[in-house]
Amino acid sequence: MVHLRWLSQTLGVRASTSPQEREAAGYIADQLISYGYQVEIQEFTVPIIQDIGMNLRVEGLESRTFTTATLLGSGRGEVTGPLTFVGLGREQDLPAEGLEGRIALIERGEITFRDKALNAHLSGAAGVVIFNNALGLTRGTLSGSLDILVVGVSRDDGEELLRLLNRGDVTVTLRVVREERTSQNVVATKDGGKGAVVILGAHYDSVPESPGANDNGSGTAVLLTLAQELAQMDLPIELRFIAFGAEELGLLGSSHYVSTLPENERNRVVAMLNFDALGSGGLRVGGDDLLVGQILTIADNLSISAFSTQEPSGASSDHAPFRAVDIPVAFFVGNEFSRIHTPNDGIEFVDPELLGQTATLGLETVASLVR
């Protein structure tokens, strides 16, 4: 809880590629060094579209700007056009005359962000603004790139744009800028070169508007606790603890790490354990069937309540790049996601007992892998 408090309260928001994310990396590295690990900061370049900013401007008598979040996969550039509300953005919601040169205002819900944006794009829209149906900015991915600007706004701002439309024509300018930034993984090694390798990982960045206690200060705190405990043990394997950067931009830190891992090193890794969004709504374990079965048996023997899970559709975490190269993975996750990616993701909603149970289960899992 000391680690979680520092990350989510003392430091707070740790947006990917931000100075606060780098400060968090320094904190994690210092802790791991103090436990006796060999620590490397692995930097990587992040060519990103500006994630958040005042990128929507209403032109005219009521000129003003709105805070937006750029959806992953959006095009980039600047467009100006009349704003048109098209409901949920389904095909039947679009005007028969099309949206040529217009900016489509769309409500979140019912169909995917990609389908909303693609429908508007095929109808001729120059840009898309999706307003939320819940708290916070609309954030997400288009599951691939589209050649159209797509941004999200909050529910309140969406309703304000609708109010302006009800008073008359509204012209807006959207601007999405691509930047080169840097993020970093923190890689700590114990007994380098000693037999098989077990990797334990968690991302430490948060989305821009969230203190990220549950997502993922919780996983980082568990990772550091496991590192401290395992530093005391003499095991016949190599341990690597990796705190991943820029997960919230699309698993960029873990993808970079795996892409730079030589094939002979990949072949040494017998398991990757990932810890994400823990301490709320119970404990779930997913991933490789054999490994998950082994972990759930350990949980049962320890009288820890844990259940198998599948990844939600369209969501993943830092185990995914490892699984893609046939490394057995297990991910430890909670089951309460209503506050993640919002300003309400605070430490008061994280259960210390659940974190302790997760750490205990992780510790015994590592021990079982060397028996």
Which amino acid, residue 114? Answer: R
203 and 281 fall within a common domain: yes
209 and 105 fall within a common domain: no
124 and 255 fall within a common domain: no
186 and 291 fall within a common domain: yes
**pLDDT at position 50:** 65
- What total number of domains does the chain contain? 2
Residue 284 has what DSSP assignment?
E
197 and 320 fall within a common domain: yes
Three-class SS string for the chain?
A: CHHHHHHHHHHCCCECCCHHHHHHHHHHHHHHHHCCCEEEEEEEEEEEECCEEEEEEEECCCCEEEEEEECECCCCEEEEEEEEECCCCCHHHCCCCCCCCCEEEEECECECHHHHHHHHHHCCCCEEEEECCCCCCCCCECCCCCCCEEEEECHHHHHHHHHHHHHCCCEEEEEECEEEEEEEEEEEEECCCCCCEEEEEEECCECCCCCCHHHHHHHHHHHHHHHHHHCCCCCCCEEEEEEECCHHHCCHHHHHHHHCCCHHHHCCEEEEEEEECCCCCCCEEEECHHHHHHHHHHHHHCCCCCEECCCCCCCCCCCHHHHHCCCCEEEEECCCCCCCCCCCCCHHHCCHHHHHHHHHHHHHHHHHHCC
185 and 129 fall within a common domain: no
215 and 125 fall within a common domain: no
267 and 142 fall within a common domain: no
With the CA atoms of 217, 221, 223 and 226 taken in that order, what torsion angle do they form, in degrees rounded to the nearest 10?
A: -170
The tokens for 66 are 């709105």
* Domain harbouring 96, CATH code: 3.50.30.30
**pLDDT at position 325:** 96
Which amino acid, residue 103? Answer: I
221 and 276 fall within a common domain: yes
Mean pLDDT by 10 residues, the chain (371 residues): 98 95 98 98 84 81 84 88 95 93 94 94 95 86 86 92 91 86 96 93 94 97 98 94 94 96 95 97 96 98 95 80 96 92 94 97 95 77
Give the integer Cα–Cα distance in Å for 153 and 200: 35
Of the candidates 144, 160, 176, which is a domain's last residue? 176
225 and 365 fall within a common domain: yes
362 and 288 fall within a common domain: yes
* Domain harbouring 43, CATH code: 3.40.630.10
Its domain, for residue 141, covers: 52-176
The tokens for 41 are 């900061």
Of the candidates 131, 150, 176, which is a domain's last residue? 176
103 and 169 fall within a common domain: yes
Of the candidates 119, 154, 176, which is a domain's last residue? 176
The tokens for 294 are 């082994």
**pLDDT at position 196:** 95
